[in-house]
Amino acid sequence: MLNYLKSQSAFENSLNKWRRLAQSIWNSHWTADISLLLIAMIWGSNYIVIKGVVETVPVFQLLFIRFTLTAIIMLPFTFKVLRHADRSAWTSGMILGLILGATYFLETFGLTSTSASNAGFIIGMYVVLVPVLDHVIHGRLLKISLAGVLLLSITGTTLLTMKDSFDPKIGDVLVLAAAFGYAIQMIMAKKLTAGKTMDSRALTVIQFSTVAIVSGLLSLSQPSSWSYLTPSFWLAIGYLVVFGTMFAYYIQLVMIRRTSPSRVALLMSSEPMFAAIFSILIAGEHLSIWQFIGGVCIITGILLGRRFQE
């Protein structure tokens, strides 16, 4: 009996040791950094996944299925906070959802006629556009430094859309409009929630549900045979819903508090780079030397632009 108790005590001590080690690793800034880099990688891969799907699936139907599944899966975890959400939270969530929906429409339609690598770089410009639009909205003159960052990003976009000459595709224009949409969504989110107590989980579900409803209504205008509901389609949707949306947003929310703003900016700014890497390795896309320089200009602009948001 005594040997059993000693053995049990040794097991518990060992188990507690491993628990403390696991907790230490989980709370480490290295875990936060690796997690944020993983999110940037996942979001970078989203472009090539979506581009592959929209070749056979109507855009509105794709977004309807994606966001409906996301909202349904999140509902059991957010039902209580949704019950206690007031009218202001629902109104703000629906307004932000409409902006987010328009942004996703532009981005997804844009991917039908531009490369995944171009989309990844151009979308990242929203980081620069947020402080620029904020200055414009409040009637403030742009600082020289901010104007320089904007010029650098515009130069990068120009180079990125070049082949032998400056010839932007309609997809590039739509994705650039989507970048403006993301910037407006961030500005409006700050304005609508300032000084109010709103649960971010409730706002997120309301936004996703709004996108799902609007996409569903608009999908009625698109012909469909539903023949695209293949195993590969559901695999892509599962990846976008579970990893590209739920996992990424949750991990970002948790880990972003465990590292410095400068490290967050550096890690998350690698998303366009991953978009280009996946596009080259999986889709066989090719970046010319000018497009590569343009991508570097945009990433530099993103890194500098984040400083104006901190």
pLDDT in tens, 215-251: 999 998 877 767 778 889 999 999 999 988 888 877 7
- Is 60 exceeded by the pLDDT of residue 163? no
Q: How far apart are CA 125 and CA 112, in angstroms?
A: 20
Q: How far apart are CA 155 and CA 94, in angstroms?
A: 35
Q: How far apart are CA 174 and CA 79, in angstroms?
A: 35
Name the β-bridge partners of 162.
166
What pLDDT score was predicted for residue 10? 61
For the segment 6-17, the average pLDDT, to the nearest whole number, is 62
Residue keyed to tokens 């400083």: 307
Contact 182, 126 (CB under 8 A): yes
CB atoms within 10 A of CB 308: 17
pLDDT single digits (tens) 71-93: 999 888 888 888 888 888 899 99
pLDDT > 70: what percent of the chain?
Answer: 81
CB atoms within 10 A of CB 260: 12
- Is 90 exceeded by the pLDDT of residue 177? yes
SS3 labels along 125-193 = CHHHHHHHHHHHHCCCCCCHHHHHHHHHHHHHHHHHCECCCECCCHHHHHHHHHHHHHHHHHHHHHHHH
What pLDDT score was predicted for residue 236? 92
DSSP per position, 5-24: HHHHHHHHHHHHHHHHHHHH
Confidence of residue 25 (pLDDT cuts 50, 70, 90): low
What pLDDT score was predicted for residue 167? 61
For the segment 275-289, the average pLDDT, to the nearest whole number, is 82
Residue 214, CA distances (Å) to 32, 68, 154, 218 in order: 35, 11, 32, 6
Confidence of residue 110 (pLDDT cuts 50, 70, 90): very high
Q: Distance of alpha carbon 204 from its chain centroid, rounded?
A: 13
For the segment 54-75, the average pLDDT, to the nearest whole number, is 91
- Say which DSSP state 244 is in: I
- Is 70 exceeded by the pLDDT of residue 7? no
Contact 255, 22 (CB under 8 A): no
* Sign for the pseudo-dihedral over CA of 256, 259, 261, 263: negative
